[in-house]
Chains A and B, each alone.
Chain A
Amino acid sequence: AQTVTQSQPEMSVQEAETVTLSCTYDTSESDYYLFWYKQPPSRQMILVIRQEAYKQQNATENRFSVNFQKAAKSFSLKISDSQLGDAAMYFCAYRIYNQGGKLIFGQGTELSVKP
């Protein structure tokens, strides 16, 4: 069975600094997608970044980037130049390629940003 593990329930970062959130997953599949979602307090969950497993290049979206290590089944999220608006719950999620709908989520990491 596929599982997603986020080992850091809480993280804290100073404004303008860099923070890395960790995520590991377990699967026997070779083709899949990985996602990071952000859920601000009392606000909607939004997609931060997406990675296709067949791509070796790490995905990047502005201040957000991932370190995808397929062999190690690791998918960490790096947030550079942290801003107060980055404070939120961050969820790592996994989906098998061509199996629409079956998103498997980790437990989440609550990120706080200190001014």
Chain B
Amino acid sequence: ETGVTQTPRHLVMGMTNKKSLKCEQHLGHNAMYWYKQSAKKPLELMFVYNFKEQTENNSVPSRFSPECPNSSHLFLHLHTLQPEDSALYLCASSQVTSSTDTQYFGPGTRLTVL
């Protein structure tokens, strides 16, 4: 539907597991974002990368570790998560040099932490 893809779409993990979420954008954008969407709460911005450099870390616990190897790929490495980390994790991208800088979202990864 859009140029932003995310894998896996669903993930179930135990608290001691290590897993990674992947995001890829095919829009030629220069910025990528991770959001957390929990039930009944607004979307929470977690991380922002502009030109592969992290420019925003919104007080996210260290058990979430982002990685942006290039402007098209973004990862979120997960380790020793808590059940309250269960949520929909959305990736987005945008062209920050444009006048409007509209963000385009991926379909999300539904994460369940047991």
Contacts and interface: CB of A to CB of B under 8 A. Distances in A.
Q: What is the predominant secondary structure among interface residues of chain A facing chain B?
A: strand
Contacts, number: 60
Contacts of B100: 33, 50, 52
Interface residues of A, number: 22
A46 B106 CA distance: 9
Given A50-B102, A95-B101, A101-B31, A4 B42 contact: yes
Residue from the set A37, A47, A91, A101 with the largest chain B CB neighbour count within 10 Å: A101
Interface of B: 1-2, 4, 31, 33, 40-43, 45, 48, 50, 55-56, 90, 94, 96, 100-108
Interface of A: 4, 33, 35, 37, 43-47, 50, 52, 91, 95, 100-108
